[in-house]
Amino acid sequence: MTIPNQIHKPYDTSDKSDFNTCQRILEELCSQTKMRYGLIRKKDGVKWGNWCVYDYQSQQIVNKNSDTYVKIYQEIRTGFSPIYINDSAQCTVDQWTDVLQEFGLKSYISYPIVNKKDAIVGHMSFMNAEPVHFDRTKLETLLPVCSDLIAIDFKTIFGLNKARRELKQELSYTKNRELILTSLAHDLNNPVSIVKVISQYLMGSVKDDNQKRLIKKIEEASLRMKGMIDDILDFSSIRLENKPTIINECFRIDTLIRQILSEYEFLHNKTLIANIDLPTEIRCDQHKMGRAFANLIGNAIKHGNPDKNIEINAFIKEGQFIFSVTNELIFPQQVSDLSDLFEPFIRGDNSKGLGLGLFIAREIAKLHKGTIIVHSDNTKITFELAIPTDFMRSIQ
């Protein structure tokens, strides 16, 4: 048999699952026809290619990029009609006999693969170096069924490949959008900060109450914008970071918590009840942990009952650092489903933010091998951040 040696090499593919159905069908048909080689060609648009070449003798898929098979197809295979040649010496079509003899073949079968729209999407063929007396009647029943199965498999593979391409494209678009969003947030950060500083300066220099009220509105708007920008930057940072974070430093978290509490009490003119018992330093990313604390406290101020106190607890218990924020609900039944609270862009009623605060806090907890759990009794709601004090130094 003079088929080139290249087709005898095992076909190496990282995704052999695409060939499972075809391989099983070719294996069975080679067994039924007594042919050594089984081949499936697949049409992709206007192009044809050898999809799966099976060597029954070695019982494995072999290299599918053989010019030999292409030439056989070009010379023999046309239209919808099946071709059955059990001995090329007895074939009545001289052209087919010449092609098969050129490549040392004596037996040949070809059958079209037709989809539901009656369009040819591929072909099956089987070949052998010696004459083979196969049962044509049996094959005329078996081949149409196999053709239908392969047509369905092609449609499935096409759908999967299309979904992979679309997913890859969407991932690229998403990354570019987040990079643009991060760049825009950085650019907006400075002017918003300037507005905030100027409004605070003016507040101390003017005496007219009406002017003070206007300046206060400007300051509040700038603070709200600053919070949104910080959320965008944190959100993009979390989404774009894919390298391990090495944390080598330990901090007095009680000092950080008290600093954040004083800032919120000043900004919102509200007293926060704090119970802090942290005798030791804790290894963490101080900036990120501060954002998690601020987001949980800010969430309680935004959505809690303004006439009721907010309680903050921070302590070490059973090898874990615990930080919890509890606030009373404005309406007793307003929290019925807690499963979506940590999803990005989920906002509460009358919220003016982006809906990223709790999501960012949860992701920061994950970076520290921790969790955030939420409890509610329909009158109060508690967010509890828990981080192991002995978490790994390299945080995935």
User: Quick one: average pLDDT of 82-94?
Assistant: 86
Residue 241 has pLDDT above 60, yes or no: no
User: Among candidates 323, 305, 302, 335, which has minimal Cα distance to 227?
Assistant: 302
What is the pLDDT confidence band of residue 314, given thresholds at 50, 70 and 90? Answer: very high
pTM of the model: 0.50
What is the pLDDT confidence band of residue 14, given thresholds at 50, 70 and 90? Answer: very low
* Whole-angstrom distance, CA of residue 130 vs CA of residue 35: 9
User: Quick one: average pLDDT of 182-210?
Assistant: 77
CA dihedral 55, 61, 65, 71 (to 10 degrees): 30
**Residue in the structure block whose two tokens are 């290619």:** 49
* Whole-angstrom distance, CA of residue 300 vs CA of residue 149: 58
- The residue with greater pLDDT, 69 or 39, is 39
Contacts (Cβ under 8 Å, ≥6 apart) of 170:
none
Tell me how far CA of residue 195 lies from CA of 192, 201, 216, 266, 315, in angstroms.
5, 10, 12, 18, 38
Q: What is the pLDDT of residue 308?
A: 87
Q: What pLDDT digit, counting tens, does each position of 43-63 carry?
A: 776 666 667 788 888 888 776
Q: What is the pLDDT of residue 223?
A: 73
Please list, residue by residue across 201-214, b when 16 or more beta carbons sit within 10 angstroms of its beta carbon and e when fewer do: ebeeeeeeeeeeee
Q: Do residues 88 and 101 make contact, with C-beta atoms less than 8 angstroms apart?
A: yes
Q: What pLDDT digit, counting tens, does each position of 102-141 carry?
A: 888 899 888 888 888 888 888 888 889 899 988 888 888 8
Residue 392 has pLDDT above 50, yes or no: no
What is the pLDDT confidence band of residue 372, given thresholds at 50, 70 and 90? Answer: very high
Residue 11 has pLDDT above 80, yes or no: no
What is the pLDDT confidence band of residue 379, given thresholds at 50, 70 and 90? Answer: confident
* Whole-angstrom distance, CA of residue 118 vs CA of residue 243: 51
Q: What is the pLDDT of residue 66?
A: 59
Q: Point out the least confidently predicted range of 79-83, 143-147, 311-315, 348-352.
A: 348-352
Q: What is the pLDDT of residue 391?
A: 59
